[in-house]
A = this chain, B = another copy of it.
């Protein structure tokens, strides 16, 4: 697998644009990702009971299994808690994009919105913006960067990645862009992620891969434990690479057979792209001064390992300890204890590590005397690994989070207006 420059522009058969449409005050706020031909599409969405209009709209498109021509995204307004008019606005965005791009209908278009909630979309600006963006779409590096920029809200940097694998002798490229986590009008930290590939793969197979990949990437990150109303991950595959069809087995999904070599190769690249973007979102977490990886080894089941890893990176007490550069293993063990996972606390080994070294804090569930100065030196670094080795089984998992800082309280405590 090779890492490529170029972001979304590294993938064959797609064009992109990112423009200022007048939804935000100054910055780019509307993006188009367009496949030259109808593409297989997959999507996963927020599990929040309160779902934004574009989430409702996209779910219907994805579950119908129709090929998709484009994704249209606006930032600055989430089109959430907007009732029936909001649903009509989402459909109108799709219809306008279909018309401007020469697609058959709005059912070939996926729609995403992120930003302030409870405010109707400024549809005049959005519709004229979509038509303007449709004229500007191109396969240049600049257009790809513009699209990556136009989906951002309070993000402090763009998040893009492209990787290449070889399938049947042909280069196949996967690329993605993502946004998270914050807003100019702080409301909730929406996660949006778009992955496109020129692989030849069915929508069903892509959806199966997406479901699996999500559970160990986006679902293992946390900035503040709040699940947004708009979270959406969409994947498109248009087959423009000319590579052979990627199937899970000799048939399409589902199958009991061992996965094929090309499926495994594609799945690895797909996971890599998601994990990269997920980690980038955490690195840009609101007010974050540390990037924290929790690693669990030796768990009874993967589900236990995931609960334990996620509980560590979600705990406010662990997060404030990391902000304070305090090797406070008690809070880590405590967070593991209330995670709901099955594990034996009396056989836990706990270490913290960074580029400055590693230090053992707990051996067989009991504290080990350690040099506080060495611990402090390790925790002074930006990237911290908390590792718990259990003796309950062979399952492992990792989760990624950030610290809880004054800046987080400031960003989210400031008055909206």
Contacts and interface: CB of A to CB of B under 8 A. Distances in A.
Interface in A293-344: 315-317, 320-321, 323-326, 328-331, 333-339, 341, 343
Contacts of A337: 48-51, 227, 229
A303 to B, nearest CB: 15
A371 interface: no
Contacts of A317: 186, 188-189, 224, 226, 412
Interface stretch (A166-174, A250-258, A400-408): A400-408
A225 B334 contact: no
A345 interface: yes
Given A365-B83, A415-B324, A118 B329 contact: yes
Interface residue range, chain A = 35 or more
Interface string A380-417: 00000000000000000000000011101110111111
B50 A227 contact: no
Interface of A: 47-51, 80-83, 116-119, 186-189, 224-229, 315-317, 320-321, 323-326, 328-331, 333-339, 341, 343, 345-346, 362, 365-367, 372, 376, 404-406, 408-410, 412-417
Given A323-B409, A372-B417, A406-B406, 17 more contacts: A48-B338, A49-B336, A50-B336, A81-B365, A81-B366, A81-B367, A82-B366, A83-B365, A118-B366, A187-B330, A224-B317, A226-B317, A226-B335, A317-B412, A320-B412, A325-B415, A404-B409
